[in-house]
Amino acid sequence: MLDRTRQRQHQLRLLDLYGALLTEHQRRILHLAWELDWSYGEIAHREGVTRTAVYDVVRRTTTNLDDYERKLGLERAQRV
């Protein structure tokens, strides 16, 4: 459980740091999923897409955020 909480905190920090680099759609999906804790089904219904589409956006965008951190290192720099 603790690892899951740490992972969520890490994701939210990356979203705060790099959210401006994402599209509005990506930010909205991640906001609903991570900050408001909506299910993929709830997000899909609101956005008029499938749960698979929501899953794909979250997965791809999470990868993008991790790539931004690997390349730019803003979170790492804040910890130092």
| Domain count of the fold of the chain | 1
Residue 38 has pLDDT above 90, yes or no: yes
49's tokens: 């897409």
The residue count of the chain comes to 80
Tell me whether residue 55 is in a domain.
yes
Tell me whether residue 7 is in a domain.
no
pLDDT (0 to 100) of residue 11: 92
Q: What is the mean pLDDT of residues 30-38?
A: 95
Question: pTM of the full predicted structure?
Answer: 0.86
Residue 80 has pLDDT above 60, yes or no: no
DSSP the chain: -HHHHHHHHHHHHHHHHHGGGS-HHHHHHHIIIIIS---HHHHHHHHTS-HHHHHHHHHHHHHHHHHHHHHH-HHHHHH-
Tell me whether residue 8 is in a domain.
no
50's tokens: 């499938």
Q: What CATH number does the domain containing 27 carry?
A: 1.10.10.10
Domain that holds residue 57: 14-79
Residue 1 has pLDDT above 80, yes or no: no
Residue carrying structure tokens 């909205």: 28
